[in-house]
Structure 1
Amino acid sequence: MLNPIDAAPVVRDGGAVGQYPGQIHEGVAWWLGACLVVTQKVTRIAVAHDRHPVITEFTDRLCRGAINAQHYACNVLYLGNQTEDQLRKALTHFGGIPGAWLSAETANDITTVCVRLYDRHGRVLDDTTGLGQIRSLIEQDHVPIPVNEQAKGTIEPWHHELTDGGRP
């Protein structure tokens, strides 16, 4: 592992949470994206964020991890700046797909990054629905990598604002 983390205190609360820099770095988002695809066994996910300046690189890395997850050729629907509720509604709107919402908060010069992962039912992952498996993959440095270039997925920008009903 190029830049290890202490996974137990970071991979928790439905995804990953930690101080940046320090406890969490952008590479963790790549690992989470790849692991989400593999543990949920999907070819499509949705990703949104809260537009905090730190989150841009985390979001990019998560998307790239997802499209490079083994043989899944995952299509990432990149929703851009949306609320967490809008993302959850979008997961249902797009046919019950998993997803990720990334956010950050800065207080007293300390930035905390949160990457929350969802299953295909719009529920936050926990240790029994994939988060424990993701933590284990990261701890053991078994983060999924692509098997070949043909297995690479795509990132598809979504250019519509989601309303409270989850529809464009």
Structure 2
Amino acid sequence: MLNPIDTVAVITGSGASGTHPDQIHAGVAWWLGSCLVVTRGASRAVVGHDGHPVSTEYAARFARGAVNAQHYRCHTTVLVGAVDEDGLLAVRKDENAVGAYITTSEDDTVTITLYDVLGERLTERSGLDRIRALIATDRVPIPVNDRARGVLDFHEEAER
């Protein structure tokens, strides 16, 4: 695994959280996007962020992981610009999708919150444990072939 992380310390709560770049890096977002799609069997995903430059980078990497998740051909929507959690959840509901909301605090702590298709935050019992295990054992899902790759689109939240 390139750039390993302490999965027990970082992947906890409802997703992942750690100080950038010491505890967490943008590759973790790619891993989470891919693993969320595969563990949930998702065909749709939405990712939004708070507008911080680090959050923006993580959101882009999450989206690339989601569209490259094995054979799921996940249609992934990236919300362009800053959005709050409620805005992400509204789009997620409209698209019947899994989701991720990414924030970065003043001390560079990145938090990636993951949601299931019902809009509930992931928990240990609803899949976070499986995602952690995939990442810890370096079994992050990769695309089977180019035809299995999903679709990426960008959505201006202000248009809603």
On whether the aligned pair clears a TM of 0.5, the verdict is: yes
Is 1:136 aligned with 2:137? no
Long gaps (5+) in structure 1: 163-167
Give the % identical residues.
46
Secondary structure in structure 2 of the residue aligned to 1:121:
coil
Secondary structure in structure 2 of the residue aligned to 1:54:
helix
Q: Distance in 2 between matches of 1:55 and 1:14?
A: 17
4+ residue segments displaced more than 4 Å: none
Secondary structure in structure 2 of the residue aligned to 1:70:
coil
Is 1:112 aligned with 2:109? yes
Q: Distance in 1 between matches of 2:109 and 2:48?
A: 17
Q: Distance in 2 between matches of 1:83 and 1:91?
A: 12
Secondary structure in structure 2 of the residue aligned to 1:128:
helix
- Higher helix content, 1 or 2: 2
Secondary structure in structure 1 of the residue aligned to 2:143:
coil
Q: TM-score, normalised by structure 2?
A: 0.95
Q: Distance in 2 between matches of 1:71 and 1:34?
A: 11
Deviation at 1:90, TM superposition (A): 1.8
TM-align CA RMSD:
1.1
Q: Which residue does the alignment assign to 1:121?
A: 118
Long gaps (5+) in structure 2: none
Q: Which residue does the alignment assign to 1:37?
A: 37
Q: Distance in 2 between matches of 1:21 and 1:141?
A: 20
Q: Which residue does the alignment assign to 1:65?
A: 65
Distance change in 2, residues 1:92/1:41 (3 Å): same
Output the amino acid matched with 1:86.
Answer: G
Q: Distance in 2 between matches of 1:32 and 1:160?
A: 23
Secondary structure in structure 1 of the residue aligned to 2:89:
helix
Q: Which has the higher Rg, Structure 1 or Structure 2?
A: 1
Q: Distance in 2 between matches of 1:160 and 1:46?
A: 12
Q: Deviations over 1:70-129 (max 9, x none)?
A: 0011111111221011111222222x31100111001xxx31000000001100000111
Q: TM-score, normalised by structure 1?
A: 0.91
